[in-house]
Amino acid sequence: MKAMVVFESVYGNTAAVGRRIAETIRARGFEVAEGAVADLHPDQGASVDLLVVGGPTHAHGMSRTSTRKVGAEDKKNAYPTPSVIPGLREWMDLLPTGSRIASAAFDTRFDKPMFLTGSAAKGIAKRLREHGYLQVAPPRSFFVTTENALVEGALPEAERWASSLVDAVRPSEAARAS
């Protein structure tokens, strides 16, 4: 089976989560293409069994060119390859439609109530559905501190979530035996 994990990352947190998700899916037997939106073409999403898409939450939702630029130019940002252009919005606009491929959406956001922070994952999931992708899990958030670092336990949680995605897509051993 094949999967693609694509992400937009400005401070590196979403990239770290995306890579851990890809590693876990790969360890569970999938062939996995992974990378930033600038590195993977949306057409590749039409030839996989599972498409996982993630991005940082900016201004209560998916980032925009202006918010990515502000983050990329932040003097405190040590991430060497922040996403600026294209971003997830532009990348997802080019996704093939009508695919009925399994998908899941994740984001990184401040560890505060969603009504205060918003969620990029909700917007990502909505766009995936609009393109015909099947949602196999609710949108998922992984938290960062106000210092832009992943909270303790975020990466192990990403592993557990990725395993649940594989379980949702691949028939269980018990189902295959019957």
Q: What is the identity of the amino acid at 21?
A: I
Locate the domains of the chain by residue range. Answer: 2-177
Global model pTM greater than 0.75: yes
Question: Regarding beta strands 50-58 and 61-62, do their DSSP bridges make them parallel or antiparallel, or are they unpaired?
Answer: antiparallel
The number of beta carbons lying within 10 Å of the beta carbon of residue 121 is 26
Angle (deg, nearest 10), helices 13-27 and 154-169: 40
pLDDT in the model for residue 83: 87
* Contacts of residue 66, Cβ cutoff 8 Å, sequence gap at least 6: none
In sequence order, the β-bridge partners of residue 2 are 31
CATH number assigned to the domain covering 2-177:
3.40.50.360
Instruction: Going from the first residue of the chain to its last (178 residues), give the mean pLDDT of each consecutive group of 10, the final group possibly shorter.
Output: 96 97 98 96 91 96 89 88 89 88 97 94 96 96 94 98 96 47
- Three-state secondary structure call for residue 20: helix
pLDDT in the model for residue 172: 52
CB 111 within 8 A of CB 118: no
Give tens-digit pLDDT for 132-150. Answer: 999 999 999 999 998 889 9
pLDDT in the model for residue 178: 43
Q: What is the identity of the amino acid at 152?
A: E
pLDDT in the model for residue 176: 41
Torsion angle, alpha carbons of 71, 116, 105, 140, to 10: 120
CB 48 within 8 A of CB 6: no
